[in-house]
Structure 1
């Protein structure tokens, strides 16, 4: 149990984000972290359990037990589970706790999650992670939103995080992230397909030379290799994110077709790495 001078933090979901943030947060004196992941206790979760042990994170048998004494509760699951996790957590969250939703979900999803959490008396912090977390670690740029965004962000920034409050209205931070993602994930999908087609016809050098002439500041050979690896490694998660972007577009009365196509392309790229179709 956390002591009087301990900042207790919990993670629901202990994948890349949970592990990366835990490593940075535990560099602070007086921080204690408990985590729960659906995979704990299974063969597939052995790697996650080993990571928790190495970092000094206590593995909890349930999300409720992980979060029982936590000041900050991070939800770091998948986009399609974000709302369900918030709704489940609302049953046992208490006033004084801050539910930090770092999932890449649509603004409407965040709004519904916020409604569920705040009904418990706990605070809900919308948190839109604006870049892959591995290189920047705890310093990755995060946009935060909600009535308590300023105070919660200041408290987390004191622990080494990099949150910038952008709105007291839920949904705006996620909209900023997903609008950007349409471009970033879309470019990745375009480059993967372009490179594959070039290789099929053995025309990569002249095509990339033409692109370099049009955009001289970009090394298209390097960009294609980098984006292919990003999609292969993170395509499943990014596909889910782009489906949330499609939901955002549809909710605004805009056509979601491009975002849905990007989601499909991201998933195809990931499956190619896995050797499936």
Structure 2
């Protein structure tokens, strides 16, 4: 089976190396780096610099390009793809962009699969999980299993669904990353970073998902009290000359919940379960946004 990998950055090279033993691989990169050329030489595969008629000979395409060029890469490839080709888009294009591309490829009888890499390739390499969505997601799932890359297909998922979940994950992980930077540099400046890790051990013990549900669930009850603690933390960062821009924004979320609670208190028992807590928080947030 012939596999074309479009884009020879870190992601493309990783999957090329894994796939070379199982597929007849051809690489494509419009501006190949020295690492891309070395990868092609090492794997003894062809490296093309333009998308063209040669794509009509491939069975699978894995697009490993940056999100901002995913649409142009797919558009360039589409005229040359066979009707039975499975095009797997591993880019970080927008949800709307992937939905639209899925529709355009479907109109040409090309199977488009939205693939979202759920983690950092630089940290976990080939073992980084992949989430798949689209009518031929199961086919892509089998292909990734062949190269021992962990993947999961969303049941009844459509193009864009995997990217929706990835970007929701980004809300949390990148927000934590920014807060982590603010917290650790402040701890380092005060000489207490090692001790900080010790006082965070309760989160390790609980498990992150359980911790996340617990703090969101009880936010409905304790938002006002916790907002005072946030203000004191902001003051501490200001006092040491490391004002926290992310933490300052956090106080806005607390104030929004506090206003909602004052105007329309949550029903008794709302904080007893994560489902009822999230439902109330969503409803109250939408109501405030409409006003």
TM-score, normalised to structure 2, is 0.63
Question: 2:28 corresponds to which residue?
Answer: 36
Larger Rg over CA atoms: 2
CA deviation profile, 1:113-152 (whole Å, cap 9, x unmatched): 2123223321101111112335654443211111122234
1:197 aligns with 2:189: no
1:47 aligns with 2:35: yes
| Counterparts of 2:105 and 2:81, CA distance in 1 | 8
| Root-mean-square deviation over aligned CA pairs | 2.9
Q: 2:72 aligns with which of 84, 98, 117?
A: 84
Q: 1:23 aligns with which of 7, 17, 23?
A: 17
Question: 2:217 corresponds to which residue?
Answer: none
Question: 2:106 corresponds to which residue?
Answer: 118
CA deviation profile, 1:68-121 (whole Å, cap 9, x unmatched): 311111111112122222222223222111110011233212101212322332
Q: How many equivalent pairs are there? A: 210
| Counterparts of 1:207 and 1:139, CA distance in 2 | 30
Q: CA deviation at 1:182?
A: 1.8
1:178 aligns with 2:172: no
Q: Is contact 2:6-2:28 (8 Å) kept?
A: yes
Task: Trace 1:136-151 onto structure 2 (pairs within 5 A).
Answer: 137-151=125-139
Q: 1:188 aligns with which of 136, 159, 177?
A: 177
Structure with the greater relative contact order (CA < 8 A, sep ≥ 6): 1 or 2?
1
Bigger fraction of residues in helix: 2
Q: Is contact 2:31-2:49 (8 Å) kept?
A: no
1:103 aligns with 2:91: yes
Question: 1:9 corresponds to which residue?
Answer: 3
Relative to structure 1, the CA distance from residue 135 to residue 192 in structure 2 (aligned partners, 3 Å threshold; closer, same or farther) is closer
| Counterparts of 2:113 and 2:78, CA distance in 1 | 14
Gaps of 5+ in 1: 1-6, 219-256, 262-277
Please state whether the residue corresponding to 1:128 is helix, strand or coil.
strand
Q: Is contact 2:53-2:80 (8 Å) kept?
A: no
TM-score, normalised to structure 1, is 0.66
CA deviation profile, 1:183-230 (whole Å, cap 9, x unmatched): 122212211222223334444345444444675679xxxxxxxxxxxx
Please state whether the residue corresponding to 2:152 is helix, strand or coil.
strand
Question: 2:210 corresponds to which residue?
Answer: none
Gaps of 5+ in 2: 208-245, 251-291
| Counterparts of 2:17 and 2:66, CA distance in 1 | 20
Q: Is contact 1:24-1:137 (8 Å) kept?
A: no
Please state whether the residue corresponding to 2:79 is helix, strand or coil.
coil
* Stretch moving more, 11-20 or 173-182: 173-182
| Counterparts of 1:152 and 1:18, CA distance in 2 | 16
